[in-house]
Structure 1
Amino acid sequence: MIYKLRIILDAQEDVFRDIAIESNNSMEDLHNTIAQAFGFDGTEMASFYVSDPEWSQGEEIALFDMSEDGNNVRLMNDTIIEDQIDEDNRNLIYVYDFFSMWTFYVELADTTHEREEGVNYPSLLYIHGQLPDSPPQKQFEAEELDEDLEDSDDFDLDSYDDFDFNENWN
């Protein structure tokens, strides 16, 4: 079976690539295809994350196992694409280069049972937009909490007087 996937950069600008890949390829093959489609050299760490329709990040499928005991993580080269993506489970999150955090949404757009004659798979079908020079800035939950506390006029973290306890309670 041939899967047609859309890979969308998590950015305000529209940047995406459409690819076709055989469903029995490994997740590592998909990683290499995405890296090439966006112009990466493919040498950085990367992971896929199983995702639901709301794009919640689930189980990790890593390029390399970096865990201490060596068996806690599913690996891309041991995982087949069709075992992760199907008509009911259409979404994955892909993160490339953990220092830069290039984040992409991978969505199953279509499936077909027929290979196109003369097409080598995986195949880049469509390109839209240019990859920016640096990854889009992301705001993480902890940063959001810090901003909420900074904006709050209710109490000063440097003053015990604003808290509801006696400093010399002991």
Structure 2
Amino acid sequence: MIITLSIRLVSGMYAQTDWGCELEIEESSSLHDLHDAIQAAVGFDNDHMYSFFISSEESGAERLHFDGEEYSLDDSIGSLLPLPEGKKLFYWFDFGDDWIFQVSPSPQQPGEARPNRHYPFVVAESGSKPEQYKGYDPAAEPEW
């Protein structure tokens, strides 16, 4: 089944504008797959560590857990849903620049995959994508 998730940028080192997207993904996809999908959607280099956590606010936990039960990045997205009341799923990328995204299930009911559509699929996007490394010029890097 295909589920729709709302991804919204909450904070980050260079987060100066609002950005979000609606993402269709297979509910059997792992959290690692969701990480890759968010990276592709926001246009970041996939070059840092990341984590997911469930909390009532974006500065909550440091790893994915709730009610004493821990989850791994191999767990499916569907296994986490529905979230406990009052809790939200967050994606934390780059522990130095602290990019935080809130991941919310859409009220839209899961459906069958559409023919000729490759998943994950960005259905809609709002705002402006943030610059991952504001002011960084890779051409200025010294050659060793």
> What residue number does 1:8 align with?
8
Q: Which has the higher contact order (CA 8 A, sep 6+)?
A: 2
> What residue number does 2:55 align with?
51
Aligned equivalents of 2:21, 2:38: Cα separation in 1: 8
Aligned equivalents of 2:111, 2:43: Cα separation in 1: 29
One of 79, 101, 107 as aligned partner of 1:83: 79
Aligned equivalents of 1:27, 1:124: Cα separation in 2: 17
Aligned equivalents of 2:118, 2:127: Cα separation in 1: 24
In the superposition, relative to structure 1, how do residues 39 and 112 fare at CA in structure 2: closer, same or farther (>3 Å)? same
Which structure dedicates a bigger proportion of its chain to helix? 1
In the superposition, relative to structure 1, how do residues 105 and 112 fare at CA in structure 2: closer, same or farther (>3 Å)? same
Aligned equivalents of 1:86, 1:74: Cα separation in 2: 15
- 1:74 Cα offset (Å): 4.2
Aligned equivalents of 1:9, 1:132: Cα separation in 2: 9
Q: What are the superposed Cα offsets for residues 79-130 of structure 1, whole Å, 9 maximum, x if unpaired?
A: 1111112276673111111110011111001332322222111111112122
CA-based RMSD of the aligned residues comes to 2.6
> What residue number does 1:123 align with?
121
One of 33, 39, 45 as aligned partner of 1:41: 45
Alignment of 1:15-164 (within 5 A): 15-52=19-56, 57-58=60-61, 60-61=63-64, 74-76=71-73, 78-86=74-82, 91-109=88-106, 110-133=108-131
The percent of aligned pairs where both chains have the same amino acid is 32
In the superposition, relative to structure 1, how do residues 56 and 41 fare at CA in structure 2: closer, same or farther (>3 Å)? closer
- 1:75 Cα offset (Å): 3.0
Aligned equivalents of 1:57, 1:85: Cα separation in 2: 19
Aligned equivalents of 2:81, 2:19: Cα separation in 1: 22
Alignment gaps of 5+ in structure 2: 65-69, 134-144
In the superposition, relative to structure 1, how do residues 85 and 91 fare at CA in structure 2: closer, same or farther (>3 Å)? farther
Q: Work out which of the two has the higher radius of gyration on C-alpha atoms and give 1 or 2.
A: 1
Aligned equivalents of 2:19, 2:6: Cα separation in 1: 10
| 3-state SS of 1:113 partner | coil
Question: Could you state the TM-score of these two structures normalised by the residue count of structure 2?
Answer: 0.72
- 1:43 Cα offset (Å): 1.9
How many residues align structurally?
A: 123
> What residue number does 1:64 align with?
none
